[in-house]
């Protein structure tokens, strides 16, 4: 059960971050704490934490918390900004299209179809970004990442 013990900073994680029961995976929490005190090198961010930020709709909340605290690596803050920008863009567009479809007499069906394409696109982009992070590639989107850095970087970081 040592893989599910809290880390030093009181966040729950996967212990050593490795699946096998190798040399690091078999250590207890006390030995890991001693190793962390002796080793001043920054530990890499587990991919599961970054992937959590990109889950559609639900990833908004850990991303907001990360930016609110202002703690984390550059990559984690950038992913958090991108996640919040994508979620807020989707939510604003969704609400505007739904309102337009509800009040329109001329083309409500077209607006509902456009709304479903927008939602599908948001989910597909999120899954695509998750897959890119799992492959070790960059988690940036050309337009949205720049927008997130300019807007959210000014207010939340």
Q: pLDDT tens digits, residue range 39-85?
A: 454 556 677 888 899 999 999 999 999 988 888 888 898 899 899 99
Total number of domains constituting the chain: 2
Cα gap 102→28, rounded to integer Å: 58
pLDDT of residue 119: 96
Range 6-14 average pLDDT: 46
Tokens found for residue 64: 């907001």
**Residue 95 and residue 21 share a domain:** no
Helix axes 142-156 and 74-103, enclosed angle (nearest 10): 100
pLDDT of residue 71: 83
**Residue 137 and residue 75 share a domain:** yes
**Residue 142 and residue 80 share a domain:** yes
**Residue 33 and residue 57 share a domain:** no
- Which residues lie across from 46 on neighbouring strands? none
Q: Measure CA 34 to chain center.
A: 30
Domain region containing 91: 47-156
**Residue 101 and residue 152 share a domain:** yes
**Residue 59 and residue 34 share a domain:** no
Cα gap 109→131, rounded to integer Å: 33
pLDDT of residue 49: 83
Q: Is the pTM of this model over 0.75?
A: no
Cα gap 61→52, rounded to integer Å: 10
**Residue 118 and residue 71 share a domain:** yes
Q: To which residue do tokens 């069906």 refer?
A: 109
**Residue 76 and residue 23 share a domain:** no
pLDDT over 50 at 19, yes or no: no
153 to 82, 95, 150: CA distances (angstroms):
10, 25, 6
pLDDT over 50 at 20, yes or no: no
State phi, psi for 12 to the nearest 5 degrees. Answer: -80, 140
């Amino acid at each position: 059960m040592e893989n599910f013990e809290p880390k030093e900073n009181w966040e729950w994680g996967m212990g050593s971050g490795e699946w096998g029961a190798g040399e690091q995976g078999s250590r207890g929490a006390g030995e890991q704490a001693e190793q962390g005190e002796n080793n001043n090198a920054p530990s890499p961010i587990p991919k599961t934490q970054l992937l959590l930020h990109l889950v559609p709709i639900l990833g908004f909340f850990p991303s907001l918390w990360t930016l609110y605290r202002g703690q984390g690596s550059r990559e984690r803050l950038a992913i958090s900004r991108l996640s919040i920008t994508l979620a807020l863009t989707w939510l604003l567009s969704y609400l505007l299209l739904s309102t337009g479809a509800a009040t329109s007499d001329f083309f409500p069906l077209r607006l509902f179809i456009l709304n479903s394409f927008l939602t599908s696109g948001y989910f597909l982009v999120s899954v695509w970004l998750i897959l890119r992070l799992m492959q070790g590639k960059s988690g940036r989107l050309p337009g949205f990442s720049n927008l997130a850095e300019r807007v959210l970087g000014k207010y939340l970081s």
